[in-house]
Structure 1
């Protein structure tokens, strides 16, 4: 029994399950706004399964593709995909199972969700290889998580609304911006291994500037989302709070690169949760 428990822990560490917090709030923000309130327990369960299986697929494929890179990087050399705890066939099976779960859940939700599930998986999987030939990998990661609001509104309305596109664009630049900051940790390693991150190709100053620009776009698109969706004061307060938290994130990183983990995980995690709570208040009050 303990063997299976340990294996579950290894897969949990492989995909960093706790980081699902980045995408889940924005799926449900879109669903709440689309439904003009509570969207039902059925869609709640299906939304959770869709989000988690999609992310597990993306992370599983990424860890499989990055085995050679992770093994050489001191920061990632203890991950289960390279230290022997999980072999390649196990990771492939895990990844495929999650892909089929995602497609199956999408099929249950509605036909449009089912049709979109295939290109979504293609986008999610492409990130794993982009950094080997293009600095656009940061944007691709942003698109991967930015699909979450689109998925949420499709689940409720079976269509893509203009305001959901604004919300999605905000998430895209939010994620790309903080991924730029996170990649500063591996700048020297990426240079040595000819990986196409923005820090390795253009340096830390350009990375900080581009990340700040992306986060300005984030706030603009989230404000447009609140306006186009006809939301109230709580939603606009969520946008302002997001701007303050993103500014604090940049303050932490610029002050000390050793604070990148704190900026990446803590600040961004709280941002998504706070945004979600305020949108709920907006719809309730």
Structure 2
């Protein structure tokens, strides 16, 4: 039993389960808007499971693919995928189990979700390999999380309305923007190992500018989402307020690069949760 608990703890550390907070709010935002309110406990359960298994799959693939990279990076050398706690076979089984679970959950949701389940997994798995040949990896990560609101609206309505695309575009640029900030930590290592990233290719100053540009685009698309979905004051407050949060994040990193973890995990976590709460308020009080 103790060995099982330790193994579960190692897998939790492998995928950083608590960081599911980045994708969960936006899948539920899409579901609330698509249903114009409460969408039911069944879809709540299936939506949460779909988001978690999809993320577990993506993180598992990333950790498996990056074993050689993580092993020589001082920042990541203590991860379970490289320090001996989890072997390659265990990680592959974890990836397969979560992929299968995601496909089954999609089947239970509706036919369109099932048809799109494997293409979604292919997109999620592709991120890990982009850094080896393209600095567009930041955008691919954004697309991976941007699929969350698309999946949410498909679960409720089996359709992809324009407002969900705008919401997803906001998520794409939000995630790509904060991934750029996070990748500043590995800029020198990426240069040394010949890995492709915007910081390693263009330097810190250009990265900060592109990150700020991406975050500006995120806010713009979220404002357009509010307009296209015909939402009200609280939704507008969520979109506009996200601009203030992201401006604070940019300021935090510019002031001190040691604040990157705080900006990445804390600030972005709160953004998603508050955005969701305001959207719920908007639908309740509409």
What is the TM-score with the length of structure 1 in the denominator? 1.00
CA distance in 2 between counterparts of 1:135 and 1:276 reads 31
User: In structure 2, what is the equivalent of residue 70 of structure 1?
Assistant: 70
User: In structure 2, what is the equivalent of residue 2 of structure 1?
Assistant: 2
User: In structure 2, what is the equivalent of residue 241 of structure 1?
Assistant: 241
CA distance in 2 between counterparts of 1:208 and 1:125 reads 27
CA distance in 2 between counterparts of 1:192 and 1:53 reads 34
User: In structure 1, what is the equivalent of residue 196 of structure 2?
Assistant: 196
Q: Which runs of 5+ in 2 are unaligned?
A: none
Q: Which runs of 5+ in 1 are unaligned?
A: none
User: In structure 2, what is the equivalent of residue 102 of structure 1?
Assistant: 102
2:94 matches 1:83: no
CA distance in 2 between counterparts of 1:234 and 1:73 reads 44
Deviation at 1:92, TM superposition (A): 0.1
2:2 matches 1:12: no
2:195 matches 1:166: no
* Cα deviation 1:92-124 (Å, max 9, x = unaligned): 000010000000000010000001111100000
CA distance in 2 between counterparts of 1:233 and 1:244 reads 17
Secondary structure of 2:203's aligned partner: helix
Secondary structure of 1:60's aligned partner: helix
2:127 matches 1:127: yes
Deviation at 1:172, TM superposition (A): 0.2
CA distance in 1 between counterparts of 2:96 and 2:41 reads 27
CA distance in 2 between counterparts of 1:175 and 1:96 reads 26
User: In structure 1, what is the equivalent of residue 137 of structure 2?
Assistant: 137
Deviation at 1:241, TM superposition (A): 1.1
TM superposition outliers: structure 1 runs of 4+ over 2 Å: none
CA distance in 2 between counterparts of 1:73 and 1:198 reads 18
Aligned residues, how many? Answer: 285
2:64 matches 1:57: no
CA distance in 2 between counterparts of 1:249 and 1:194 reads 28
CA distance in 1 between counterparts of 2:170 and 2:237 reads 15
CA distance in 2 between counterparts of 1:208 and 1:157 reads 38
User: In structure 1, what is the equivalent of residue 179 of structure 2?
Assistant: 179
* Cα deviation 1:132-155 (Å, max 9, x = unaligned): 000000000000000000000000
RMSD: 0.3
